[in-house]
């Protein structure tokens, strides 16, 4: 007899619970005396932000990619408009409406540098990298530490394929990814109290887990700039702040990296950042999440519903701060 075993992410969501009050991370910055977070120069949303002229994307004609049916959703996709207009990308401002300002980012030429504990350091053009990777589409949930969530059709390739391409030494224990650094186009980077450039990392075991994904597109098209074009990473069982956008550098190391948010406030944001509804953020509950593009609030699941894939990664690490 065939017994269908339901994976965590196929479980139906139960009734919504009332919205818990929580403070967003701007309150953290205010609390730290950094209340004046309007971006210097006032470039956000300025008309000039769009005056870059069209850029040719040689990968655009490759989209859409075939969907990998192993990764299914239990909820409707987030409307594209919501996923592409409600963003976190502090390089372009600390509010959600950074999409216009992000258009100033120039995407070609774009290279990715692989270095640190690798057999041979190398710099690869983004378009060349895409040609060599096994491209596909995956539907994943996304959970921000601020307690909102999405369901997104990502295009891209498994992170494992990129790790194999980079040929790290067997002594490498972590991979660290880094965003571009260009304060001329990213006004937020002129604010020296932030630990630019934005970085974060994973253990090699996490990075080679089948769920870890390098995204180059969403909704069957190349990534919009505000979502981290041309290359970002996606780890759906972790809070979204891990998922570095607009990556230019991939470094292998044997030292545990300290990411952007951990540098900024280590009491609130740590290395592991796995989703767990039972472990509150110091300033708000993580028990439920607001579904972007709807009025719904639904219960959050352990590892964002992906425990069957990733729980094993954390065996023996119970003493670590796995859920912050």
- According to the binding rule CB under 6 A, does residue 227 interact with ligand MTE? yes
Query: Helix/strand/coil (H, E, C) string of the chain?
Result: CCCCCCCHHHCCCCCCCCCCCCCCHHHHHHHCCCCCCCCCCCCCCCHHHHCCCCCCCCCHHHCCCCECCCCCCCCCCCCHHHHHHCCCCHHHCCCCCCHHHHCCCCCCCCEEEEEECECCCEEEEHHHHHHHCCCEEEEEEEECCCCEEEEEEEEEEEHHHHHHHHCECCCCCEEEEEECCCCCCCHHHHCCCCCCCCEEEEEHHHHCCCCCEEEEEECCEECCHHHCCCCEEECCCECHHHCCCCEEEEEEECCCCCCHHHHHCCCCCCCCCECCCCCCECCECCCEEEECCCCCEEECCHHHHCHHHHHHHHCCCCCCCCCC
- According to the binding rule CB under 6 A, does residue 103 interact with ligand MTE? no
- According to the binding rule CB under 6 A, does residue 143 interact with ligand MTE? no
- According to the binding rule CB under 6 A, does residue 274 interact with ligand MTE? no
Residue with Cβ nearer ligand MTE (71 or 117): 71
Closest residue to ligand MTE using C-beta atoms: 240
- According to the binding rule CB under 6 A, does residue 90 interact with ligand MTE? yes
- According to the binding rule CB under 6 A, does residue 290 interact with ligand MTE? no
- According to the binding rule CB under 6 A, does residue 241 interact with ligand MTE? yes
Residue with Cβ nearer ligand MTE (89 or 219): 89
Residue with Cβ nearer ligand MTE (163 or 244): 244
Binding window for ligand MTE (CB under 6 A); candidates: 46-54, 81-89, 102-110, 309-317: 81-89
Binding-site size, ligand MTE (CB under 6 A): 16
Where on the chain is the footprint of ligand MTE (CB under 6 A)? 87-91, 144, 179, 198, 227-228, 240-241, 243-246
């Amino acid at each position: 007899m065939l017994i269908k075993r339901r994976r965590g992410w196929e479980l139906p969501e139960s009734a919504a619970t009332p919205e818990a009050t929580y403070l967003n991370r701007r309150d953290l910055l205010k609390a730290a005396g950094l209340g004046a977070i309007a971006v210097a120069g006032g470039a956000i949303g300025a008309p000039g932000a769009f005056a870059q002229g069209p850029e040719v994307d040689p990968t655009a004609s490759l989209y859409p990619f075939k969907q990998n049916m192993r990764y299914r959703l239990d909820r409707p996709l987030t409307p594209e408009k919501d996923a592409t207009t409600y963003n976190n990308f502090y390089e372009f401002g600390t509010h959600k409406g950074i999409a216009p300002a992000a258009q100033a980012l120039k995407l070609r030429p774009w290279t990715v540098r692989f270095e640190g504990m690798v057999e041979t350091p190398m710099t690869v053009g983004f378009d060349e990298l895409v040609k060599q990777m096994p491209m596909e589409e995956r539907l994943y949930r996304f959970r921000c530490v601020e307690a909102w969530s999405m369901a997104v059709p990502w295009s891209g390739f498994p992170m494992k394929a990129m790790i194999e391409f980079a040929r790290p030494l067997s002594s490498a224990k972590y991979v660290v990814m880094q965003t571009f650094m260009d304060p001329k186009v990213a006004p937020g980077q002129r604010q020296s109290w932030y630990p630019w450039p934005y970085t974060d990392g994973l253990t090699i075991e996490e990075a080679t887990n089948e769920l870890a994904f390098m995204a180059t597109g969403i909704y069957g098209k190349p990534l919009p700039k505000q979502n981290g074009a041309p290359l970002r990473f996606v780890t759906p069982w972790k809070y979204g702040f891990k998922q570095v956008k607009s990556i230019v550098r991939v470094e292998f190391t044997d030292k545990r990296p300290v990411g952007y948010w951990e540098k900024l406030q280590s009491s609130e944001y740590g290395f592991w950042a796995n989703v767990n509804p039972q472990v509150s953020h110091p300033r708000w509950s993580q028990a439920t999440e607001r579904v972007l593009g709807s009025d719904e609030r639904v219960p959050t699941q352990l590892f964002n519903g992906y425990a069957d894939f990733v729980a094993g990664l954390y065996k023996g690490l119970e003493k670590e701060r796995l859920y912050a």
